[in-house]
Amino acid sequence: MKITTTRFGEVEVSGESTYAFPEGILGFGDIRSFVLLDHPRGGPFRWLQAIEVPALAFVVTDPAIFFPSYRVAVRAEDVSSIRLEDIRGGFVLVILTVNRETSGITANLQGPLVFNPAGRLAKQVVLADREYTTRHPLVPVQKP
């Protein structure tokens, strides 16, 4: 399937990289279909691109790369809408924000994205845990 995007032009996407967000993403209520794209220049970044809205995309990353101790504590009812019965079958990505003035990158650890790859479903979970905020600076991982 070919989709049109503002950032990447026309992109060919396969069904296995598409995800339905049954509850949408806060702030973008009616948009439900997204696809995970690799960052054109490689590295730890990927893009969550809205399939039907060319201009809507988020930079996402695997939090384990930058926040090794980060854990997403979800209850069964948090992920029942994406039919994730066994949490080990899912994976987590977090949305990044780049501050254009400082070029600083922050990660939203309070609202992680939980994916169910088998069901092609995903959702933004809002963590009740006050330990995490929407703006954690991407702390470089030190080499051992």
Partner 1 sequence: MLVLTRAVNEAIMIGDGIEITVVGVKGDKVRIGIRAPQSVAVHRKEVYEAIQQANVEAARTAPSDLPTLPDLSRIIPPPSAPPGGAGTKE
By CB under 8 A, tell whether 77 contacts partner 1: yes
Query: Which letter, b or e, does each residue of 118-142 get, where b requires 16 or more Cβ atoms within 10 Å of its Cβ?
Result: eeebbbbbebeeeebeeebebeeee
- Specify whether the CB–CB gap between 114 and 60 falls below 8 A: no
Q: x/- string (CB under 8 A) for partner 1, residues 44-73?
A: xxxx--------xxxxxxx-xxx----xx-
CA–CA separation, 31 vs 56, rounded Å?
9
By CB under 8 A, tell whether 43 contacts partner 1: yes
By CB under 8 A, tell whether 13 contacts partner 1: no
Residues in contact with partner 1 by CB under 8 A are 7-8, 22-23, 25-28, 36, 39-47, 56-62, 64-66, 71-72, 77, 80-81, 87-93, 95-98, 100, 103, 105, 108, 110-111, 117, 124, 126, 128, 133-135, 138, 140-141, 143
